[in-house]
Amino acid sequence: MKRSTKITSIIIIFFLIITTVIVGRNMVGNHFKKKFSKRPPPGIIVTEVKERIFENIISTYGTASPVQTQSFKVEKYEILKPIKYNQKVKRGDVIADLKNRKILAQFDGTIGKREFSEDLEVSKSSILINLEDTSLIYCDVDIPEIFVPFIKVGLPVNIKFSGYKGKIYKGEIHSFASRISEETRSLATRIKMDNLSGEILPGSFLEISIKYDVRESLSIPDTSTIVEGENVFIYKVDDKNKALKTKITTGDRYMGFVEVLNGLNSGDKIVAEGTKKVRPNLTIRPIEKGSKEKKGNSDWGKKDKSIN
């Protein structure tokens, strides 16, 4: 009888221990569940969909040519006074004073000298004087026929000259040929630019960037896109701060932005950065791009202030 009572007591104690463990685990689980359920939504950088200028560019190169040039062959023995080279003259000024004649400038320009090749006997007795008007510079380039539909007189052009690295000169398309070259399958095109500063010398190698199809389109940062195969998605943020995965149609990329052709409207709010931290239908705490958060700020319901 005593032995049976002892076994019963052991069984009761065992069940009490099991019950205590189960109840304790549930209480601990509920505590942590309650604690973590109060965790604020993650702060995610967002931005608005806005219109931006997009443009396409044709890159090519060419050689600088003066708007006007005139050459004079002079025998050295004819020269009465030293010729002042690299000097600007006005129309009608004397370029060279010779024994039997005077060479007058036919237009405003700069006097230059170009000797004949040293292997020619004539170079010992003759010189070639150039008068060049470099106030305007022309540059002839060949445009591949695939771009011909976009070529128009007056299209803006950016020009770079290696002598002044980092500086961009402005020009435009002045004219173009009436037909495509059968040999090169390209269209001969002339670029014009002002050169009143005289920084661009004739013969300089110029890098040409022709802008075409300039337009205003909806844009988003390229960091906001999610590419899955042939499809592009973004996270659109609704009025309740939920991130909705949305498919969009994109156009060109330009200077860190993506052109949006379909799927968004101007003013829509989207996730700009940190898309890997977001999942569909996740409630987020929007942080306007460019704003700063105060460290230790637990009041996540308040709007972040942008710093201008």
| Homologous superfamily of domain range 136-215 | Efflux pump adaptor protein, beta barrel domain (2.40.30.170)
pLDDT score of 132: 93
37 to each of 30, 43, 299, how far by Cα in Å?
10, 16, 16
Q: Give the span between the Cα atoms of 171 and 65, in whole angstroms.
A: 14
Q: Give the span between the Cα atoms of 106 and 138, in whole angstroms.
A: 20
CB contact at 8 A, 155 and 189: no
Q: Give the span between the Cα atoms of 19 and 288, in whole angstroms.
A: 51
| One-letter amino acid of 15 | F
The CATH class, in words, for 69-133 is: mainly beta
What is residue 25's three-state secondary structure?
Answer: helix
pLDDT score of 245: 94
CA atoms within 13 A on the CB side of 293: 18
Q: Which residues contact 220 (CB under 8 A, 6 or more apart)?
A: 47, 49, 234, 257, 258, 260, 264, 270, 272
CB atoms within 10 A of CB 263: 17
84 to each of 38, 88, 134, 229, 279, how far by Cα in Å?
86, 9, 17, 69, 76
The residue to which tokens 């090169």 are assigned: 184
CB contact at 8 A, 153 and 165: no
The residue to which tokens 């609704």 are assigned: 238
| One-letter amino acid of 254 | Y
| One-letter amino acid of 11 | I
Q: Is 281 left (phi over 0), alpha (psi -120 to 50) or beta?
A: left
43-54+216-288 CATH: 2.40.420.20
The residue length of the chain stands at 308
E-state strands within 165-288: 169-176, 186-194, 205-221, 226-228, 231-237, 242-254, 257-262, 269-271, 282-283, 285-288
Q: Give the span between the Cα atoms of 83 and 120, in whole angstroms.
A: 23
Show pLDDT as tens, one digit a residue, over the chain (308 residues).
456 676 777 777 777 777 777 777 777 666 666 655 556 888 899 999 999 999 889 999 999 999 999 888 888 888 888 888 888 889 999 988 888 889 998 999 989 876 555 545 556 678 888 899 999 999 999 999 999 999 999 999 999 998 888 899 999 999 999 999 999 999 999 999 999 988 999 999 999 999 998 899 999 999 999 999 999 999 999 999 999 999 999 999 888 999 999 999 999 999 999 899 999 999 999 988 765 443 333 333 333 333 32
CB contact at 8 A, 224 and 275: yes
CB contact at 8 A, 58 and 157: no
In the chain, where the domains are located: 43-54+216-288, 69-133, 136-215
Q: Give the span between the Cα atoms of 280 and 245, in whole angstroms.
A: 6
